[in-house]
Structures are given as C-alpha cells and as structure tokens.
Structure 1
Amino acid sequence: MDYPMFCYQCEQTAGGKGCTKVGVCGKTPEIAALQDLLIYQIKGISCYAKELIEKGEKIDKDIVSFVENSLFTTLTNVNFDGDVHEKMLRQSQDIKQSLRSKVSSCNNCCEQATYNLSDTRDQMLEDAKHAGIMYDKSLDEDIRSLRQTIIYGLKGISAYGHQARELGYYNDQVDEFYFRALQATTDDKLTLEDLITWTIRTGDMSVAIMQKLDEANTTIYKHPAPHKVNVHVKKGPFIVVSGHDLKDLEMLLKQTQGKGINIYTHGEMIPCHGYPELNKYPHLAGNFGGAWQDQQKEFDNIPGCILMTTNCLMKPRDSYKDRIFTTSVVGWDGVKYLGKNDNGDKDFSEIINKALELGGFKEDQEPHEILVGFGHNATLSHAPAIIDAVKSGKLRHFFLIGGCDGARAGRNYFTEFAKQVPKDCIILTLACGKYRFNKLEFGEVAGLPRLLDVGQCNDAYSAVRIALALADAFDTDVNSLPLSIVLSWYEQKAVADLLALLSLGIKGIYLGPTLPAFISPNVLQYLVDTFDIKPISTPEKDLASCLSVPTK
C-alpha cells in the first residue's frame, strides 16, 4: 500500500522543498505517516489538557513526559521503528480518553481532539492522510508556516526537556507550554500576528529549558572546565557513545569500570569530557570520529560497539548492525534496544559483552588532543582578561560559529569562514557544526585559545550567558558587542536555538547553508525586517560585513 508523504522539517529535505517518496534521513512513507498521526494525537490531547489547565488543574507529569517524548520521537534521525510508533499511538488514545472524560464541555475542541484512533495499523495509516502537513490545501501558507515553525521549535525543546527530565529536572512553565502551544496550532481563530507571538514565546521557552538543562548538567556533573581530549584511538575493546545524553554515558562508565573497555564519545557527546564528574573516569578514553553524518563510513566494520542515546541515528549498514544499540527514544527496526528496568536503571551488560567479544583496536594511534570545556562558567572566569584585551585593541571581535552539521554541499563555508577569521579574534563554537574545524590549529590571542568549545547544541544558553555578561561589562546590549553569530542548521533543535536567540532580541544572525523550506516568503520577510536575519553568501563577503563596523 502506498502512503502519501510530505516532510520538510530538516535542512536536507529533497530539492529544498520536501521529501515525498522517502526521507533523506531514511524515513519511510509509513513511518512518516505514523509520525504525522502521533503529532495529530498529541494536538488532540493538548486541546483537552488546555481546558483543564484553564480550570486550574495540573496535568500529570507522566502525560507531560509522553507528549514530550512524542515530539522528540518524531524529531529528525531519532526513531524509525514502526512498532514503537504504533505502541505510542495506542497509548496516546488512552491518554486522550482519560483527559476527555474530565472535560464536561470543550471550548478548545478541534478535529484532533474528537478523533479516535483506529484499531489496526492499516487503518491508522489511512487516517494519517488527514494529519499530513499539506492535507488542507486551502490553508493560508503563512499560517501553515508559522504553525510548523512552532511545532518544530517544540520538537527541539522536547529534546532538551527530555534530557533534563532524565536527570530529575523540569520546568513547570515549559511543561504547560507544550499543551498551550500545540493547541494553538489547531486554532483557526488565531491570526498571523497571534502566531508570530506564539513563535516568539516558543523561543522564550527554548531559553527556559536550556537554562534548566544547564542547571541539571552543572549541578550533577559540575561546571565544565577546559580539558584535553584525545581524538585518536587506543588499543583494546571499546564502546562509542553517540547522541547527547550525559546520564546514559555516566551509567555506562560506571558499568564498565575495571572491565578493560575504553569509552569514546562521538558527535555531540564530545563536550562530556569537560565535566569533572564524567572525565574522572580514566576509561573515558577520547572522542571517536566526526559529526553524525559520517557515521555510516566511520562505523563500518569497526571492532567495537556503538550506543545511540538520542537523535543523530542513520540507517545502520549490515557491517555494524549487529553491534549498534539504541536507548531512550531512539530506535531502528531490527536494532537492539536497551531500555530501563523497573527501578529506572539500564543494564548495559549486553553491549559490554559484545564489545569484549569483538576485541577492539589492535594498537594505539599516536595521540592527538584538542581542547573542550569552555562553558559559560569557564569562559567568564577569564572575563577581566577578555575585557582588557578588547579595550586595549588586542582582541577585535568574537564570532559564534556553530550549529548542526550535515552532508549537503556548501557546508565547507563554515570551515573556510573559521579559517579566515583574523588572528586577533576569538571563535566560540557549539553543537556538531564544530567538527568542520575543531581539529585545526587556531593558536591563542591575548593569552586565550582562539577557539573556545562552548558545548552541545543546548549550550547555546552558555553562549548567551557569555554574550550577556560581556554586554553588561561594556555597559551596552548584545547587538552592540563586537560579536557576529554564524549558524548552521539541520534539524529542529537548531530551530529551537534560533527562536531562543530571536526571543532575546538578538539581531543580524547569519544563517545557512540554506533557509528552511517551511518558512514562507512572507514569514521570511518578517524575520529579515524584524531581526535582520541574513542568509550566508561567501565567507569573504560575510566576514568583511561582520568586520566592517565596530557594532551591528
């Protein structure tokens, strides 16, 4: 049976317009349909939840967690397992019915709320046609654009919210916002101006959840500090940990102590080496490989195991499908999943035994180390020296170059831009976009490394903290600092990060390698007019523009 498909939530969507036959990510039309229907269902749940919230009732945190995980599950490169989606859909109907039974009359009711899930998967897939992004052909394109921008921002927020919740931290305002914002995307009475307000509120909530996740990470694992990471391998059995989840890494480190297994970070896990409560484990041996899009060739036939903790999963090749494991919300049909036991812990013995069986690398490579660990606490400890260097003219400009990496041609722009940044400037970087240049030698300026690795994508909050502190020190605002922001985007966490920056009033951001397909021309014009968003051009032109005047 053929199912209609339309997905344009990631930067690499087919033709820059939308995937209609199969996802560039590997998502099949069936999985796409089930994901559409799951989003449809949580919109319906939210219609009832909003009614209860407005009556002063609290929504059970298990329901919040389900909606959060549903958003996260449908984020790019997270879950490709049909059985998981069907199970979540059935659970969504139970939750919807339980909330429906508490609402005597529904002022916010919409078709998503009144819909009841069908009994079989085939029927669900047929129903999913009504949940498709483009199903309503008469919908104003700007309304559709803003609704989808809100949903994609929520997906990004859900990834950060999930990580924080796994550590026992959450934000009640964000939890409530999931329901309010999802319901808003079903409300035909809302105008373009209303939806613009909701979009900026989504940015506010992105800041709030990044702040909460920063609190969780730095309370439990202490503030990151500068730390050298070996990016070459060592002899012996090993497990590569990819994704973003610090708690999963910690559990694995504890369970592999004394077993002769080296643990390597991969992709956005590299900032973990800066956290004192993680780098205290001597078998956290280094970082393996580059950004997420290189995994199929980097994992090809490796004599060790891989654990995927959050998003960034690509279709596993047969050469390593028997040695890649998933956990949390991540899944692929036929790949071994490691879930929680009854007490909330995870037993990693299966992946540990497999790693020992495979034997690992036969010899050490010559070590090559790079620096990580420049979160807001570490960087701002140098604030007096930074301020003096700026005032004396030794330090001319700051560049934040980071975001999501991807495979599309044109991303070498970010490498070339970083290479061309003058030697009297500092580069802040975060997320996996850093792999475009983080192994290059940049030297120092005014006694500081010129390249400062701020952390994961969620550590956009750290970059904001740094910028706000510097603005305060110079008695100005962020937009008047000698600071330029050059962002690469790929998936929905980058959308949440961008909305967070816009909600803080930050202007003049350079964005690439392409603009989002879900942003309509009129919405784009609004962003350009209001926030001076600039599509990237060439490194030379953009660099000259950044440095042409002392302030924006």
Structure 2
Amino acid sequence: MSEMFCFQCEQTAGGKGCTKIGVCGKKPEIANKQDELTGALVGLARAAAGKTPGQTADHLMLQGLFATVTNVNFDPDRIDALIQAVRTEKNKLDATAKDFPAADLWSGNEDIVSLRSTLLLGLRGMAAYAWHSAILGKENPEVTAWFYKGMRALGEEHTADAWLGLLMEFGQVNLQCMALLDEANTTAYGHPVPTTVPTTVEKGPFIVISGHDLHDLKQLLEQTEGKGINIYTHGEMLPAHAYPGLKKYSQLKGNFGTAWQNQQKELDNIPGPILFTTNCLMPPRSSYSDRVFTTDVVGYPGLTHIEAVNGKKDFSAVIKKALELGGYKEEQKFTGINGGSQLTTGFARNTVMGVAGTVIDAVKAGAIKHFFLVGGCDGAKPGRNYYTRFVEQTPKDTVVLTLACGKYRFNDLNIGEIGGIPRLLDMGQCNDAYSAIQVAVALAGAFECSVNELPLTLVLSWYEQKAVCILLTLLALGIKNIYIGPSLPAFLSGNVLNILVEKFDLKPISTPEADLKAILG
C-alpha cells in the first residue's frame, strides 16, 4: 500500500495526519501493519471476554500495544510476528472472535473517531509502563484487565458521554499502572537520590544506552563490570543515575547527548555502540547504523536485535562492538543545549517528601510563591524553545519541577536555589509523573486544600502516547488549568477539545511572558 494514516504524535504532517510517510520515518507498509496488529489485539480482547486469558495473552497485549507507540518499531517482520502470535493466542481462547477492521480505526463520525483514538493512544502509552513493570515481576490484575476492557471498547458503539466516561476511568487505571511501575523500580533499585550527572565522556571504550528500561541497563552494567567499558545514558535513561542499585556500578559514568530528536546529529560517527531499549528510535544514518542495537519491542530493519532468553539478555555483541570501536582517544567535553556541563536528577517523591517540612515552611514564609511542573516529551517542531524561555523567566521565588525528556530544553540551566532547595528539581522519567502527583497531593493535605487550590501550575509538552495517558490521568484526577503545547493533538476534534477546555480549563500555550502573567497575575 502507498497510503497510510497516522495522527498519533505531535509532529504529524500539517497538524492533521501523515498519509504518505510518517514524519517519524514510518513507511506506509509498517503503519498499515501496526493498524492490523491493533485490530488483532481487539480480536484478542474479544476472545478473552469472560475468560482468564493467561500470561502469554496478557504479555502479547502489552507488547503489541507498546510496539505501535511512535518511534518504537519500524520492522515489518517483527510486527508480522506479533500479529501471528496474537491471532494464535486469540484462536486458543475463541476462534470465532473477529479482529477489528484496520480500515475502521480512523473512520466514522469525527468526534467518535477522536474519542476512540484518544482511548487507543492512552492504552498504547499505558502498555509501555505496564510492560516495564511486568519485566520486573510486578503486575496488577485490575490494570491488566482494563487493557482487555479498553481494547474491546474500541470495537463497540458508545455515545460521546460514554466515551468520556471510559477516558476518565482509564485515567484512574493509568495512575494505578504508574504506581505499579514506581513500586517495581524502587523495589528493584531503591529510591532515587539527588545526583549530579556529568556530560563529559572519558577516553576509551563506551556504550550509550537509550530509552526507559532500567532492567536492560542493570543487565548491561552486570555484564560490563571489570571489562574497561564505560556506560553513558541517553534521553529518558538519564534518571537511572539516581537509583542506588544502579549508581553503585562505577562504570556508569554520565549522560551522552540531549533529547531523542537530536540523535541523528549527536550519534554521527560515534566511536561506540548504542543500545535502544525503548523509544525514541529514529531511522539511523549510515554513519552509525552498524553500531545501533535494539532489544525488546524496539525494531528497525537491518539492525542487530537482542532477544531475551528466559528473561535474560546477552549483550556480548554490544560489548564486542564497544571494544572494536575503542571510544574516543581523548576525553570529550559535551554540554547541554544551553551550554551547561552537568545535570541533576533524583528528586523523586521520596526525596521531595523528605524535605516537605522545609518546603511547607518556605511557602508559609513567602520564600516560595509558586510551583511549576514543566515537563513532558521533547520534539523537533519549532516552538519548543518556549519551555526554555518559560523556565528562564520563572521568578526567583518559584520552584520548577520537571520530568521526561522535555527537560533537556532547560535541565543544564543553573537557576539557583531557595533556602538550600534547588529551584529546578528533576523528578525522573515520564512515568514519574506519579511522583509529582504524590507530592501535589501531600502538599494539598498539608495546606488543607485541593490540588487545584495549590500555588501549582502544570505546563506540559507532549509528543507521543505516554504523554497522552498521563494527561488523561491528570484530567481524571480533576486537575485543571493545565497548559499544553507546543501544539494541540490532531486527534482531538474541535468538539472534543471544547469539552476538555470547558470541563478542565485545558489551555494551549501562548508565549512564556503572557502565560506567566496569566498564571501569576
């Protein structure tokens, strides 16, 4: 097929939808196979109705949805294999259950398509979090069951009100899912602690690891111990430095590069291999494609893929490539996009709650006037420097919480501190929005008010489906006056957007100056 349709990411063509080729590099062949996979997952959900599907089906549901997230899997053979596995499992449960026709995913009444798409994209984002949890042995039956419920709902007729009800129910379930992943990570690696991370790369062999999967990093660290190979995080892997169970490895040295959309430039002729554990993978250029490795649901034609065998992965091919390439001959000093040479992370809920008394006292004394959560996904579309300028212009008596890769727009800035508390607090990966929510709820309890009455404003940047599920969670919690940008999702129809604006005061960003004036008065 030469045609496709995809409007799931923020950079979709013309702000309407990619129809010839994805802005992400996804070709029509893979886009249509992903739609077919989605339809097959609806079939699996239908077949599982009233039954106990079993772990094989559960994990295929998560992997199948995760593989369709933007910048994860570009490999038609791997998507075909997932389709066949899903249908095999469906037939074991109920061979009469029908797949949802792929052509119907994006067709029909504009508002119904909008609502259905919003639920689907949220489910894709939640699947990523649930899969990371499952790998660490943490699964929640209620969360798992909701994937089947949500996927069956996609193939059913609902009123607009019923769709909205499903979206709010989903948002609450995604909060449970993020709590599950928080528990999985902190049980496995300990609670994050404030950590300074250098951006300098030492001479000698090294490996860059990107994505979100901390378990993959743990296995890589175990296998590189004593081999003279340094490990550098990239993108959303930066917060790994704050976990005691990971930072104890001396070869975990620092962070390489900035956010995902700069990888084709930053990885050009890099003298070390790169391991992609999750999104965001961009089509690799020939100058470094021979040293890119993928694992788990990530895939790209022609790249070496590392499968798990009985839950274990053998990264010897990555290690061999690191030794062959040899790394830089001399130490390389890199900086963030604003020229800073070190980053900080590790200000998750446990750390922030540990100084909650100090924070509360600072608010009562007037030393802290306002909190901003400025976070979310980064991307290449012009206008994202809004977030840099916004943080730069926040008053000296305000605190900026951040998370996800959108922080690379400003996380190398030094904006000072208030009473020993840094004004910029990196809470972690996108899923660590759970930490931010817990902190907000604790502050609301301390001040005996609702979260919406706190001096707190959320200023979010979105790119892909994990941002969608987090937004739905925030809305389901009743949080209002969220600023979102750099542009509004193409999958939100005018009527659906109006409902969200009317019910939740959802606000498109304008300029940092105007938005700060509106927020602070």
TM score, norm. by length of structure 1: 0.92
1:226 matched to 2:213? The reply is no
Deviates more, 1:40-49 or 1:235-244: 40-49
2 CA distance for matches of 1:503 and 1:479? 13
Structural mapping, 1:363-402, within 5 Å: 363-365=330-332, 368-402=341-375
Q: Aligned AA for 2:211?
A: G
Distance in 2 separating the partners of 1:99 and 1:143: 29
- Specify the code of the residue in structure 2 equivalent to 1:151: L
Q: Residue 178 of structure 2 corresponds to which residue in structure 1?
A: 210
Structure 2 unaligned spans of 5+: 335-340
Aligned equivalent of 1:87: 81
Q: Deviations over 1:246-265 (max 9, x none)?
A: 00000000000011101000
C-alpha contact 1:266 1:289 (8 A) present in aligned 2: yes
Alpha-carbon distance in structure 2 between the residues aligned to 1:338 and 1:290: 25
Q: Does 1:166 align with 2:150?
A: no
Deviations 1:130-187 (Å, cap 9, x if unpaired)? 53533x4xx2111111000000000000000111011111111110001111111111
SS at match of 1:374: coil
* 1:112 counterpart (99, 124, 141): 99
The Cα of 1:361 is off from its aligned counterpart by 1.2
**Corresponding residue to 2:226 among 258, 268, 286:** 258
Within a 5 Å distance, the mapping from 1:412-431 to structure 2 comes to 412-431=385-404
Q: Which residue of 2 aligns with 1:455?
A: 428
SS of structure 2 residue aligned to 1:80: coil
Counterpart contact for 2:122–2:466, Cα < 8 Å:
yes
Aligned letter for 1:375?
Answer: A
SS at match of 1:438: coil
* Equivalent residue letter for 2:109: D
Aligned position for 1:72: 66
Report the AA paired with residue 355 of structure 2. Answer: H
* Residue 195 in structure 1 maps to residue 163 in structure 2: yes
TM-score in terms of structure 2 length: 0.97
Match of 1:300 among 268, 288, 305: 268
Structure 2 residue 278 is the aligned partner of structure 1 residue 278: no
Indicate yes or no: 2:301 matched with 1:337.
Answer: no
Residues 353-376 of structure 1 deviation map (CA, whole Å, 9 limit, x = unaligned): 110110001122459332210000
Q: Which residue of 2 aligns with 1:133?
A: 105
Q: One-letter code of the match for 2:520? A: L
Tell me how large the CA RMSD over aligned residues is. 1.2
Distance of 1:226 and 1:344 partners within structure 2: 31
The separation in 2 between residues aligned to 1:132 and 1:416, in whole angstroms, is 42
* Distance in 1 between residues matched to 2:391 and 2:501, nearest whole Å: 24
Which stretch of structure 1 is more off in the superposition, 82-91 or 329-338? 82-91
Q: Does 1:178 align with 2:156?
A: no
Q: 2:491 aligns with which of 502, 506, 518?
A: 518
Aligned to 1:124: none
Identical pairs, percent: 55
* C-alpha deviation, 1:91, in angstroms: 1.3
CA distance in 1 between counterparts of 2:420 and 2:247 reads 25
Report deviation, 1:309. Answer: 0.2
Decide whether the 8 Å contact of 1:395 with 1:446 is kept in 2.
no
Aligned-pair CA distance for 1:233: 1.1
| SS of the residue 2:290 aligns to | coil
TM-aligned CA deviation for residue 64 of structure 1: 0.9
Query: What secondary structure is seen at the aligned counterpart in 2 of 1:331?
Result: coil
Distance 1:410 1:241 in 2: 28
- Indicate the larger mover: 196-205 or 532-541: 196-205
Aligned residue number for residue 357 of structure 1 = 324
**How many Å separate the matches in 2 of 1:363 and 1:504?**
51
What's 1:100 paired with? Answer: 94
Cα deviation for residue 546 of structure 1 reads 1.1
Distance 2:474 2:150 in 1: 19
Q: Which residue of 2 aligns with 1:144?
A: 113
CA separation in 2, counterparts of 1:63 and 1:256? 34
Deviations 1:510-543 (A, max 9, x none): 0000000000111101100111000000000101
Residue 157 (structure 1) aligned to one of 102, 106, 126: 126
Residue equivalent to 1:119: none
| Alpha-carbon shift at residue 83 of structure 1 (Å) | 0.6
The CA deviation at 1:71 is 0.4
Listed one character per residue, the Cα deviations across residues 202-246 of structure 1 (whole Å, up to 9, x for unaligned) are 111111110000000011100000011111211111000000000
Q: Secondary structure of the residue that 1:546 maps to in structure 2? A: helix
The answer to whether the 8 Å contact 2:111/2:493 transfers is yes
Separation in 1 of the partners of 2:122 and 2:427? Answer: 22
**Matching residue's letter, 1:308:** F
Q: Distance in 2 between matches of 1:240 and 1:545?
A: 42
Preserved CA contact (<8 Å) 2:199 2:333: no
**In the TM superposition, what is the alpha-carbon distance from 1:344 to its structure 2 partner?**
1.7
SS at 2:481's partner residue?
coil
Corresponding residue for residue 20 of structure 1: 19
Is 2:377 the partner of 1:404? yes
Matched AA of 2:297: V
In the comparison of the two structures, how many residue pairs are matched?
515
SS at match of 2:427: strand
Preserved CA contact (<8 Å) 2:2 2:20:
no
Structure 1: 5+ residue stretches without partners: 104-108, 114-127
Q: In 1, are the aligned partners of 2:8 and 2:465 still within 8 Å (CA)?
A: yes
